[in-house]
């Protein structure tokens, strides 16, 4: 069983963040993960164990309003606050691994945050970007009424809360994963007007973004994802010049790291990391 240590801090606005990290004796690099909406970082400990076993340190934290971190469930004061939180997370990671390259990894909403973080901070001290199921485009049409209500309430009551509208059976083809998600006390289905509308607006920006990347990017998506569309990840990758790898997994649902084929996904990720860690050093 992999041993993890705490990675906790308090933000300038008083939010207590809870995270963890683990490492082999001589890490080749650190993979620092940002999770998706409604979930939490502990759902990635199996991925972390795999990476640690193969020479990579792993760190993750619960976003504000998620998991064991503080804050109103599913809420952020502004979208930019999330990017500030990622910056604080990276600062903590660097304190533990001051000379080790960092690959920033985001899943779903976390993928949206990670991609926006990099497009806003292209000179950040990162050695690579990894996303899975990034929220660049939804695979379903959210309720027009709920979106309109969210836009209206964001201006007068930013903490107004609605359901995130996720169909849980669409996260994975594994019944065990879905059942565990449903029974997970740290999981919630809440999203406030500020977070929900912020994600929709920034996803549109990413979908239309064109630029070049100074660092390697691995953009992965399940081909049968019914929550976030692979078209979004594919278009973002196509619009970026530089070392960008787009990998679509036919037939896989949203959480490719929790699909029956997850070992293939892990092996592909490891191969990509091994090929790029020398570039990152």
CA atoms within 13 A on the CB side of 257: 25
Which pair of structure tokens corresponds to residue 4? 């993890």
The per-residue DSSP string of 91-158 comes to HHHHHH-TTS-EEEEEETHHHHHHHHHHHH-TTSS-SEEEEES-TTSBSS---HHHHHHHHHHHHH-T
Catalytic residue among 108, 172, 229, 233: 108
Choosing from 21, 254, 257, 276, which is the catalytic residue? 254
254 in catalytic set:
yes
Q: Of the residues 172, 225, 257, 276, which is catalytic?
A: 225
Concerning whether 225 is annotated as a catalytic residue, the answer is: yes
Active site residue 46: no
Q: Cβ contacts of residue 269 below 8 Å, gap of 6+?
A: 130, 218, 220
Q: Is 237 helix (H, G, I), strand (E, B) or coil?
A: helix
The CA distance from 197 to 273, in Å, is 34
Q: Tell me the catalytic residues.
A: 108, 225, 254
């Amino acid at each position: 069983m992999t041993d993890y240590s705490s990675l906790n801090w308090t933000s300038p606005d008083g939010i207590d963040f809870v995270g963890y990290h683990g490492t082999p004796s001589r890490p080749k690099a650190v993979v620092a993960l940002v999770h998706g909406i409604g979930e939490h970082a502990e759902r990635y400990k199996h991925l972390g164990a795999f990476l640690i076993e193969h020479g990579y340190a792993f760190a993750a934290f619960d976003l504000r309003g998620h998991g064991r971190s503080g804050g109103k469930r599913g809420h952020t004061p502004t979208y930019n606050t999330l990017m500030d939180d990622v910056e604080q997370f990276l600062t903590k990671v660097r304190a533990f691994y001051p000379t080790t390259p960092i690959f920033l990894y985001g899943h779903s909403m976390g993928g949206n945050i990670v991609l926006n973080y990099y497009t806003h901070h292209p000179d950040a001290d990162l050695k690579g970007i990894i996303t899975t199921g990034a929220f660049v485009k939804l695979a379903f049409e959210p309720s027009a009424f709920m979106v309109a209500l969210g836009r209206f309430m964001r201006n007068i009551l930013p903490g107004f809360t609605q359901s995130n509208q996720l169909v849980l059976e669409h996260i994975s083809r594994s019944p065990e994963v879905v059942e565990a998600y449903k029974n997970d006390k740290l999981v919630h289905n809440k999203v406030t007007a500020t977070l929900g509308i912020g994600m929709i607006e920034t996803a549109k920006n990413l979908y239309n973004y064109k630029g070049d990347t100074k660092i390697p990017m691995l953009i992965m998506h399940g081909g049968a994802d019914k929550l976030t569309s692979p078209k979004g990840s594919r278009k973002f990758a196509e619009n970026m010049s530089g070392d960008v790898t787009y990998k679509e997994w036919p037939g896989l649902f949203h959480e490719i790291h929790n699909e029956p084929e997850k070992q293939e996904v892990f092996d592909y990720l490891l191969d990509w990391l091994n090929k790029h860690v020398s570039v990152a050093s």
